[in-house]
Structures are given as structure tokens and as C-alpha cells.
Amino acid sequence: MNTNNIVIVDVGSTTTKALLFQYKEETWHYRERGEAATTVEAPDEDVMLGVWRALQTLSDRSGVPLVTEGQLICDAFLATSSAGGGLQMVVCGNISHVTGESAKRAALGGGAVLLDLFTVDDGRHHFHRLERLRTLRPDMILLSGGIEGAQNINFMIEMCDFIRIAKPKPKFGYHHRLPVVYAGASRAIPVVEELLSEDFHLKVVPNLRPTMDGENLAPTREAIHELFIEHVMSHAPGYHHLQELVTHPLLPTPSAVGEILTRYARQVDSNILCIDIGGATTDIFSVVEGRYVRSVSANLGMSYSIGNVVATTGLENILHWLSPDLSLTQVKRSIGAKLFHPISIPATTTDLLVEQAVAREAIRLAFQDHRELATIQAPRSIFVSELLLQPGQIHVDAFDIIIGSGGVLCNAPERHQATLMLLDALQPCGVTKLYVDSVFMLPHLGVFAMMDESSALSALRQDCLVPLGTVIAPWGTPRGGAVALRLQGSTSQGSSFDITVPGGRVEMIPLAAEESANLEITLSGGATWHGPRRFVVTGGDSGIIIDTRGRPPQN
């Protein structure tokens, strides 16, 4: 069959999104999308109902016959999923800040939502641990601990007994054995097998923390993906039919996002930060020097979790991003309306501005969480964009590219609003390119990349990423009113300019997405600069964004 059509579906927690890609001009291009409510839970309890509805909508919108007599007509059918809450895991380890943190990174990088982290030193009473694990309904447990060569494995006996006594049940397939991935010291493998193999589906992989200062997370992530397909999705309502249709193994949605970002970072030789702000959580993905890390900030979202964002950051921080003309009563009323109707869209300009102010704080808080998890593991200092980063540090200065995804960013009425949300929340320094994911297709492209990396990356550049522009932001604290920087240069269209910007300002200089500019920067008035003084920037909907408001010192 040769239809020149590829269909990719992302089965989300609330919405199933189907995308059509067509082959023309010797590459694949995005054509159309179709959506339907996800049907993995009661009363439907059959994920395929939502999939077929999304496919039918996609066929109707595109005018391309994709479904005939219950059969799908295309060259390839791919899928990702985060339905039913996505892949939910419990991590059990030895020391929280060593093997526990590595296991947490492995689970999150494997596309999981982390329900809890149990360690020998977590300070909880044994009874409280047992009650907590019994109430959870994880899809999988990741067990780790001990570096290679460790002689004492008593802690592993304690953790295995803890899991055996608690007898946690899986979310799907209640009567099936719960998968357990063991990624700890090899010396403890016989003990783990003896204690867990009878009651659990045990998968043993190489130690994820072989040394105190080294990690080996890839085998654990691969095992998580394998068990996700074979022992989690196979028990979810209707997923066995979906697995029969796909031409490539199903991926957890966050893992698919990680796939495309890692490959893109390698292609453009850049460090990438991606923000996906949702209704209940905010996921942050980073690739620094080829190392991929994902974090999930539960209860930092724009609908169901908006109240938690406000409670965490405080109303003063929300008001900081709003005009003084808006009263505290108006702001509270707008937030209250969102709490009562979490899936509503802003009805007034005030509602929109308040939502965007809350988004700034949600992103800021989520990035703080990410920094704790995404520490640099290199045993030596490294240079990133000519800025020296010590092991253990990571901050926004490390990133060459920032990508925004999620409704509040992608659906902003004007693109410069998305630009300002990212700029205010993250405060990038130096030269940074900003993009938004135009139609939420990062997961689709991630699983597509597993089949055809070149085509997926081409579609990412041409159909997915919308360039907002390039940020130029000096370090230091420029004096307000005094000239902070001067930019001189010429564009690829032959125009030349000479611009001075005082401290405390954000200015946007028009430069189209297909244009570039050769610039030279001169600093004054308290502003400082790391890296070359001459560089090339590209444009976008916001052009060249100059931010001279100053930056706080990095930790």
C-alpha cells in the first residue's frame, strides 16, 4: 500500500490528537489534525473509541479517506499515550540524594509520572510507608541502590520486604503481577530475585548508579519502555487493539517528546530547554551537552492546579506582571472563575492577562524544580556558550534554544505575548532563540523520529516550531535610564541599523523569521557580557528581543 499518508496519534489524558502527514517534494509535511475525547476510563473503557473518532474527524477535515469499513488506510500508523494518568511509577532506593535521585531521573526520563520516592533515609515510619504504598496504584516500581562493589546489601533486603508486605496493585490489570525494574548493585541481584520474583514481574538491568559520580540511565529507561508496552498498556482497556494497529512500538508521550528534543539538540549542536505547561502539571525537558533530563511539577498548571500556583507564589508575584490599573478584586475574581470552571478559556481581556501572569509564575516555579533535578554530572567544569559551568550547577544561561508548548503559550492571541511569558518567567541571558510548538506535535514527531529521524526533524523545523525571535540580554544590573547596550549590524536583506537601548527596558526590533542579522554589541551602564561581541541572530514574530532589565546573580 502506498498512500503517501502517515497518521500519528497521541492518546492524552483528556484528548486524543491525530495528525496526518503527507509525502510531497521528497519529504513529509504536516497536513491536518483531528481530535476527540479520550475514552480509556468509564463509561467507555475502550481507548479505541476515542482513537477512531479522532481519525474520522481527521479524515473529514483533510478530505483524505483514512477509515473504510473499520480499516485504517495509510502507509504507517504510530502512537504515543499518556492516558489514564500516563505511566505512573514508584521509586524505591537507598540514599535519597544519591541512588534515589538517579532513579528519579531515570523514571522521569522514561516518561513516567512519579507517584512517590521511598528511601531508607526518607525519615518516614515503616507503618506510614506501607500505608502509602498500599494506597497507590502504580504501573511499575523502580528499585535501585548501592554502587558497584558495595559489600553491604542489607538495605536491599529491607526495601524488598517493604514491597512484598505492602503488596501494591497495578492501576490496570488488577490481578496481574506488578512489574518491578531492579537497577541496583549487582551483588544484591540474587537476594532481589529470591524475594520478589514470585509475586512480581521482575526485570533486572545494569546498575543505574555504578559509581558515586556516574550514572548509566539508558538501560533502565529502555526497560521502562519495554514493560510499559508489554505489561502496562496491554492491560489498559482497548490498548491491545491499538497495539495491533501501530507499525512501531507505542511510546509514553513524555518519552516521545524527549526523543525529538534529543535528536534536534544533536542536529543543531545546541542546548535546549522545553516548557510544556498543562492544566494540572508543567513538564520541563532539557538537553545540555547531550544529557537529557525531564522533570514534572505536579500541581503547577493553568486549570486544575491554578489555585496551587497562586498559593505557592503569592498574589504579590502575580500582581507584579499586571498593570496597576487592575485591582486586587478583579484579579481574585478572575482566578476564582478559573477555579470554578478549570477548562474554560479566558472570557475577557482581564482574564487573559491574569492567566498569562499566572503562567509566568508557574513556569518560573517549575524551572526551579527542574534545576534541582537537572544538575550537571560532568566530573569537571565545562564551557557552555563561553560561560563556565561548574559540576552540580545548571541555570538558564546554559540554553541556546527555549521552546514553549501548552495552551497558554501556543494559543496566545498574539505571539509576542508568548515571547514575554517565556522571557519574564525564565530570564534568559546572552543570546537565546525562542520558539513555540505551533500545534502540539512534539510527541507525534518523537515517535515519528524512531521510524524516520530525517523526516521527523524536517517536519519539526518546517511545521512545528514557530520562531518567536532571538533574545539578547546582558548580565549585570544596568542603570535605569542610562544606555545599557548598543547594537550595530546589517540584515540578510541589506538593511543596516545602529540601536541604543537604555537599562530597564524590553524592546523588540522587527526581523522576519526567514531573515538573519550580523550584530556587534557594545555594553555600558553596568551591563556585562559573556561570549563573543559579534554574532548572528535569526528573526521571528517578535524579531530581535532586547532585554536590559538586568539579571539576578545565578546560584
- Alpha-helix residue ranges (DSSP H) falling in 2-78: 47-62
Q: Measuring CA to CA, which residue among 36, 46, 49 is closest to residue 236? A: 46
Q: How many residues does the chain have?
A: 555
- Are 386 and 369 in contact by the 8 Å Cβ rule? The answer is no
Q: What is the mean pLDDT of residues 61-83?
A: 89
**pLDDT for 101 beyond 90:** no
Lowest mean pLDDT among 164-173, 326-335, 389-398, 411-420: 389-398
pLDDT digits (tens, 9 = 90+) for 110-123: 878 889 999 888 88
C-alpha cell belonging to residue 96 = 535519597
Q: How far is CA 59 from the centre of its chain?
A: 29
Q: What is the mean pLDDT of residues 204-219?
A: 90
Q: Which residue has the cell 508568548?
A: 418
Burial of 260 (0-12, 13-18, 19+ CB in 10 A): buried
**pLDDT for 391 beyond 50:** no
- Alpha-helix residue ranges (DSSP H) falling in 136-215: 154-166, 189-196
At 40, the pLDDT band (50, 70, 90 cuts) reads confident
Range 161-175 burial, b when 16+ CB lie within 10 A, else e: ebbeebebebbbeee
At 66, the pLDDT band (50, 70, 90 cuts) reads very high
Q: Measuring CA to CA, which residue among 122, 191, 135, 126 is closest to residue 160? A: 191
**pLDDT for 387 beyond 50:** no
Identity at 470, one-letter amino acid code:
T
Q: Measuring CA to CA, which residue among 256, 297, 255 is closest to residue 275? A: 297
Name the phi and psi angles at 318, rounded to 5. -65, -45
**pLDDT for 35 beyond 90:** yes
Task: State residue 375's pLDDT score.
Answer: 66
Q: Measuring CA to CA, which residue among 186, 131, 187, 121 is closest to residue 159? A: 121
Mean residue pLDDT of the chain comes to: 88
Residue 43's SS3 state is: coil
**pLDDT for 68 beyond 70:** yes
Q: Measuring CA to CA, which residue among 216, 214, 355 is closest to residue 279? A: 355
How many angstroms separate the CA atoms of 409 and 217, rounded? 31
How many angstroms separate the CA atoms of 141 and 345, rounded? 37
Q: What is the mean pLDDT of residues 260-279?
A: 95
**pLDDT for 236 beyond 90:** no
Identity at 91, one-letter amino acid code:
V
How many angstroms separate the CA atoms of 263 and 252, rounded? 17
Dihedral of the alpha carbons of 347, 307, 85, 98, in degrees to the nearest 10: 140
How many angstroms separate the CA atoms of 244 and 215, rounded? 35
Percent of the chain with pLDDT over 90: 57
Name the phi and psi angles at 370, rounded to 5. -65, -40
The CA-based angle 173-179-185, given to 5 degrees, is: 170
Beta strands in 268-357 (DSSP E): 272-277, 281-288, 291-298
Identity at 74, one-letter amino acid code:
C
**pLDDT for 58 beyond 70:** yes
This prediction has a pTM of 0.84
How many angstroms separate the CA atoms of 509 and 495, rounded? 13
**3-class SS string, 332-395:** HHHHHHHHHCCCCCCCCHHHHHHHHHHHHHHHHHHHHHHHHHCCCCCCCCEEECCEEECCCCCC
At 141, the pLDDT band (50, 70, 90 cuts) reads very high
- Are 504 and 492 in contact by the 8 Å Cβ rule? The answer is no
pLDDT digits (tens, 9 = 90+) for 413-448: 999 999 999 999 999 999 999 999 988 899 999 999
Task: State residue 55's pLDDT score.
Answer: 96
C-alpha distances in Å from residue 191, one per residue of 95, 158, 224: 19, 11, 21
**pLDDT for 176 beyond 90:** no
Name the phi and psi angles at 487, rounded to 5. -115, 125
Task: State residue 555's pLDDT score.
Answer: 44
Positive or negative: CA dihedral 275, 276, 282, 287? negative
Beta strands in 474-505 (DSSP E): 475-476, 483-491, 496-502
C-alpha distances in Å from residue 387, one per residue of 32, 149, 384, 555: 42, 37, 5, 14
Task: State residue 343's pLDDT score.
Answer: 74
Task: State residue 381's pLDDT score.
Answer: 39
- Are 163 and 122 in contact by the 8 Å Cβ rule? The answer is no
To the nearest 10 degrees (0 to 180), the angle between helices 306-313 and 328-340 is: 140
At 449, the pLDDT band (50, 70, 90 cuts) reads very high
Higher pLDDT among residues 130 and 381, named by residue: 130
Percent of the chain with pLDDT over 70: 94
Higher pLDDT among residues 99 and 414, named by residue: 414
Report whether the peptide linkage leading into residue 170 is cis, meaning its omega lies within 30 degrees of zero.
no
Phi-psi region of 146 (alpha: psi -120 to 50; beta: other; left: phi over 0): left
Report DSSP state, residue 542: E
**pLDDT for 508 beyond 80:** yes
Task: State residue 384's pLDDT score.
Answer: 43
Q: What is the mean pLDDT of residues 182-192?
A: 93
How many angstroms separate the CA atoms of 16 and 37, rounded? 6
